[in-house]
């Protein structure tokens, strides 16, 4: 790195200060900015010259940085004028200067209940299991959560029987200012906690790592919550609740408050987490992709991964639109949502004597003990004379006549597009209705429903039955039955509409999301005593039901933590590869499971007691289509597969730097980002986004495929088989699942590994059988198998140009 003499530095400061002063006279808008300066200098106490320069410049111009980043990377967050920001961005050592934005958490919001088909991958937990678990070395894995804080008194974070805090832990437990309801205390489960002030939200109540939103508590208990043997949501979905890695330690970095999560705080959290010694970072939030080097999550996770920390992120809740996936840089693990096989049934009985049963789904606690028949109408017939028929039909605000609605169950049509179930139910409730039946085929995510009101959701075909009953009956009546939760009811998983979809907006040459995990109606711990979360007439819940990729992400974080404890030497890329190449694309049915009602739910268990039968049917989307890698990446995460992947794809640091080159960043900008690159690093000449297809990723994506020429990508696999003896010398053969119209060749077709750690490469050639362009995006997979392990990589081939946007 070029060194500056003191004289030069002073000269620079002088020039800059005059520039700033000149600019400040022109009134320019000011705001919070992040000054990102790339790799942290090796000597943290003095900082490098550029950092020193920038620090002096800030000080001389009277600016106090809100944050200074120095552990995992360098930079500042400060309030600057636009002109100052522009000038700073031109200074040596500065990679990017960008506005400090608020990121949003990826939950669909409380009262997110949900749905029908859910995939239950766990259960049958006993105390012996839990005790055994404490004996495994798992306990020393530390998961850092960047989120809304945590509720330390929750039973999920009890530290009973836990080993002392691992020695490698270098973090801290901030007590915060506010001592309500009592001061924040860490224990051997929550071993660290920090909070960051937001410049947008100055509330002393928030000067604590304590969670006031519930999100961070929920997410942390999904990934690492202790085993709680009889959890239930007011009697529903009862059973054993546990996190994916119940013995992992938790470090909470509270960067989020009511308004969201401020970018500069997120970066500060990454900077601290890297220094504190976490193994995995779990982030359930996001920013729409624009520029990788201006995205706090992409920057923070780049440096975390560089230090061997696995970063797991939510894919976003902006589905089902194409190109809605976020957190899709190749060093991140991008998790989309899937359903589990637990359903919340709330059926409807039509009529009196010769009653007919209609299946509905919903979570209502209003009539949990009693059922009652009520008059039934369609919302259309309650139209106010001055309202529009479509508004009335869909139970929109101010469109129904209270005199007619009062005392009745109202059938509402759903509107196309934006649907906010709770607004409709609030309207029916406000007008004195006794319940609501919503006709909606996309009802997997029942979030937004007020559980203290009777709401059930039915399919269009069942809606027709109800309509014909109403039309043909003088005094139609119906009963909405109490909710029952049941498992094994339907095949799961499927991909809910809200889950964000690939391809990645910035390039079609990397396949994202990476993997799907349960994110619909997930039961996990909540704030204690949260009156806002209590349904009318009920005490505050200890657990809550939430949906979103926010909930999917910590499922994978828990698995990643377990993998890290089983294989401490695995890189973040090896962990991602193991998770991806063992993903499932078929629906499963539990074969030896007894389908008890109101039985265990929740996330994962490590118990192998549940056998799954592959039914051979494909995982679908909520709309019923066969799911593609743009919906779920490599498929649904499996619990045990990742522990024995056989082979892994090591995506190394050069791959990530090349990714930045191919995206279009200049060599000298990239050189500032990392101090772990070869001397004289330069981007390959004449590279383009299309070259991203060639980085050693566990999935393959090829864009701009015109069918006339063949396209070749290469991959290298590393033999890691470790769990079984005698499989170091092993031969893998390839099988290819190619869609019609696309020819896929793999050379060689056999890979002979002689020992653990061996690396072998292969080439994949894509050509069109008709020598013409593909009409539609084509998907398939390449699987290497040695008879014991199957190592599957999904691929996507598209004729669309790399940076075109879908409509």
Q: Which residues bind ligand NAG (CB under 6 A)?
A: 195-197, 207, 384-386, 401, 403-404, 464, 467-468, 471
Tokens describing residue 102: 């608020």
* Cβ proximity to ligand NAG, 241 vs 438, nearer residue: 438
Contacts for 516 with CB less than 8 Å, ≥ 6 apart? 335, 336, 337, 338, 493, 495, 499, 552, 583, 619, 631, 632, 633, 635, 636, 637
Reduce the DSSP state of residue 713 to 3 states and report it: strand
Crossing angle of helices 6-25 and 49-60, rounded to 10°? 40
Beta-bridge partners for 105? 285
* Cβ proximity to ligand NAG, 201 vs 234, nearer residue: 201
Q: Which residue has the tokens 């140009």?
A: 801
Angle at CA of residue 699, ends 694 and 701, nearest 5°: 60
Separate counts of helices (H) and strands (E) for the chain: 16, 43
Contacts for 79 with CB less than 8 Å, ≥ 6 apart? 30, 31, 32, 33, 63, 66, 199
Minimum distance, C-beta of residue 460 to ligand NAG, in the bound complex (Å) = 11
Minimum distance, C-beta of residue 472 to ligand NAG, in the bound complex (Å) = 7
Tokens describing residue 754: 């002689």
Minimum distance, C-beta of residue 478 to ligand NAG, in the bound complex (Å) = 15
* Cβ proximity to ligand NAG, 138 vs 462, nearer residue: 462
Minimum distance, C-beta of residue 88 to ligand NAG, in the bound complex (Å) = 22
Tokens describing residue 805: 């946007």
* Cβ proximity to ligand NAG, 125 vs 195, nearer residue: 195
Minimum distance, C-beta of residue 470 to ligand NAG, in the bound complex (Å) = 7
* Cβ proximity to ligand NAG, 73 vs 196, nearer residue: 196
Minimum distance, C-beta of residue 522 to ligand NAG, in the bound complex (Å) = 30
* Cβ proximity to ligand NAG, 383 vs 508, nearer residue: 383
Q: Which residue has the tokens 């000080």?
A: 59
Alpha carbons 720 and 789: distance in angstroms, whole number: 11
* Cβ proximity to ligand NAG, 239 vs 260, nearer residue: 260
* Cβ proximity to ligand NAG, 197 vs 658, nearer residue: 197
Q: Is the dihedral of CA 353, 354, 356, 357 positive or negative?
A: positive
Based on its alpha-carbon atoms, the radius of gyration of the chain, rounded to whole angstroms, reads: 27
Q: What is the DSSP letter of 625?
A: S
Comparing C-alpha atoms, which of 502, 459, 417, 489 is closest to residue 794?
A: 502
* Cβ proximity to ligand NAG, 384 vs 723, nearer residue: 384
Crossing angle of helices 6-25 and 82-89, rounded to 10°? 150
Residues classed as catalytic: 147, 215, 550
Convert 99-138 to b/e letters by CB count within 10 Å (16 or more is b): ebbbbbbbbbbbbbbbbbbbbbbbbbbeeebbeebbeeeb
Comparing C-alpha atoms, which of 490, 235, 237 is closest to residue 359?
A: 490
Minimum distance, C-beta of residue 67 to ligand NAG, in the bound complex (Å) = 8
Q: What is the DSSP letter of 41?
A: P
Alpha carbons 401 and 382: distance in angstroms, whole number: 5
Q: Which residue has the tokens 């919001």?
A: 109
Alpha carbons 436 and 116: distance in angstroms, whole number: 18
Minimum distance, C-beta of residue 264 to ligand NAG, in the bound complex (Å) = 11
């Amino acid at each position: 790195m070029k060194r500056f003499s003191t004289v030069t530095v002073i000269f620079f400061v002088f020039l800059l200060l005059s520039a700033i002063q000149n600019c400040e006279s022109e009134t320019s808008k000011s705001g919070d900015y992040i000054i990102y300066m790339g790799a942290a200098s090796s000597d943290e106490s003095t900082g490098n010259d550029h950092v020193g320069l920038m620090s002096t410049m800030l000080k001389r111009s009277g600016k106090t940085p809100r944050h200074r980043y120095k552990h995992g990377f360098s930079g500042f967050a400060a309030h600057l004028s636009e002109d100052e920001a522009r000038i700073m961005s031109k200074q040596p050592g500065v990679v990017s200067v960008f506005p400090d934005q608020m990121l949003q958490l990826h939950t669909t919001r409380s009262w997110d209940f949900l749905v029908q088909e859910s995939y239950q991958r766990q259960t049958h937990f006993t105390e012996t299991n839990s005790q055994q678990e404490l004996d495994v070395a798992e306990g020393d894995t530390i998961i850092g959560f960047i989120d809304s804080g945590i509720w330390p008194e929750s039973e999920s974070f009890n530290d009973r029987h836990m080993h002392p805090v691992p020695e490698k832990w270098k973090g801290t437990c901030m007590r915060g200012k506010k001592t309500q309801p009592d001061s924040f205390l860490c224990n051997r489960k929550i071993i660290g906690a920090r909070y960051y002030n937001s410049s947008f939200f100055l509330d002393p109540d928030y000067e604590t790592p304590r969670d006031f939103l519930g999100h961070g508590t929920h997410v942390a208990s999904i990934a690492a919550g202790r085993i709680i043997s009889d959890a239930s949501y007011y009697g529903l979905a009862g059973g054993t609740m546990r996190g994916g890695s119940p013995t992992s330690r938790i470090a909470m970095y509270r960067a989020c408050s009511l308004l969201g999560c401020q970018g500069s705080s997120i970066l500060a959290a990454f900077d601290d987490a890297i220094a504190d010694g976490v193994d995995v970072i779990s982030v359930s939030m996001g920013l729409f992709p624009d520029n990788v080097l201006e995205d706090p999550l992409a920057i923070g996770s780049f440096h975390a991964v560089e230090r061997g920390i696995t970063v797991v992120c939510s894919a976003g809740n902006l589905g089902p639109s194409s190109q809605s996936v976020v957190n899709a840089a190749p060093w991140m693990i991008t998790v989309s949502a899937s359903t589990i096989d637990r359903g919340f049934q709330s059926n409807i009985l039509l009529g009196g004597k010769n009653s007919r049963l209609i299946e509905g789904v919903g979570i209502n606690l209003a009539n949990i003990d009693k059922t009652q028949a009520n008059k039934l109408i369609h919302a259309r017939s309650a139209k106010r004379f001055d309202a529009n028929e479509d508004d009335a039909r869909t139970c929109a605000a101010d469109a129904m006549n209270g005199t007619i609605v009062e005392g009745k169950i109202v059938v509402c049509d759903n509107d196309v597009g934006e649907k906010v179930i709770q607004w409709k139910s609030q309207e029916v409730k406000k007008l004195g209705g006794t319940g609501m039946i919503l006709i909606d085929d996309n009802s997997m995510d029942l979030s937004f429903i007020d559980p203290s009101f009777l709401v059930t959701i039915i399919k269009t075909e069942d809606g027709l039955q109800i309509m014909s009953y109403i039309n043909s009956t003088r005094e139609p009546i119906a009963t909405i039955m109490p909710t029952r939760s049941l498992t094994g009811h339907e095949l799961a998983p499927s991909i809910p509409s809200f889950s964000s979809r690939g391809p990645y907006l910035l390039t079609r040459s990397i396949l994202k999301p990476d993997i799907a995990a349960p994110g619909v109606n997930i039961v996990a711990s909540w704030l204690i005593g949260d009156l806002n979360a209590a349904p009318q007439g009920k005490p505050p819940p200890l657990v809550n039901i939430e949906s979103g990729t926010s909930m999917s992400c910590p499922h994978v974080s828990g698995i990643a933590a377990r993998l890290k404890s089983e294989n401490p030497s695995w890189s973040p890329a090896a962990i991602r590869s193991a998770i991806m190449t063992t993903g499932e694309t078929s629906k499963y049915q539990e074969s030896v499971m007894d389908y008890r009602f109101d039985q265990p739910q929740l996330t994962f268990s490590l118990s192998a007691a549940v056998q799954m039968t592959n039914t051979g049917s494909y995982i679908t989307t909520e709309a019923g289509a066969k799911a593609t890698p743009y919906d779920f990446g490599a498929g649904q995460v499996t619990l045990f597969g990742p522990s024995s992947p056989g082979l892994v794809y090591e995506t190394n640091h050069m791959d990530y730097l090349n990714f930045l080159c191919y995206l279009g960043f200049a060599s000298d900008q990239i050189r500032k980002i990392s101090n772990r690159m070869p001397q004289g690093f330069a981007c390959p000449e004449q590279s383009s986004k299309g070259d991203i297809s060639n980085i050693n990723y566990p999935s393959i994506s090829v864009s701009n495929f015109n069918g006339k020429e063949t396209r070749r990508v290469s991959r290298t696999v590393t033999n890691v088989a470790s769990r079984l003896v005698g499989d170091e010398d092993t031969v893998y053969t390839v099988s290819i699942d190619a869609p019609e119209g696309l020819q896929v060749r793999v050379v060689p077709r056999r890979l002979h590994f002689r020992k653990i750690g061996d690396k072998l490469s292969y080439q994949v050639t894509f050509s069109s059988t008709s020598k013409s362009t593909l009409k539609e995006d084509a998907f398939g997979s390449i699987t290497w198998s040695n008879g014991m392990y199957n190592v599957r990589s999904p691929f996507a081939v598209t004729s669309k140009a790399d940076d075109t946007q879908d409509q």
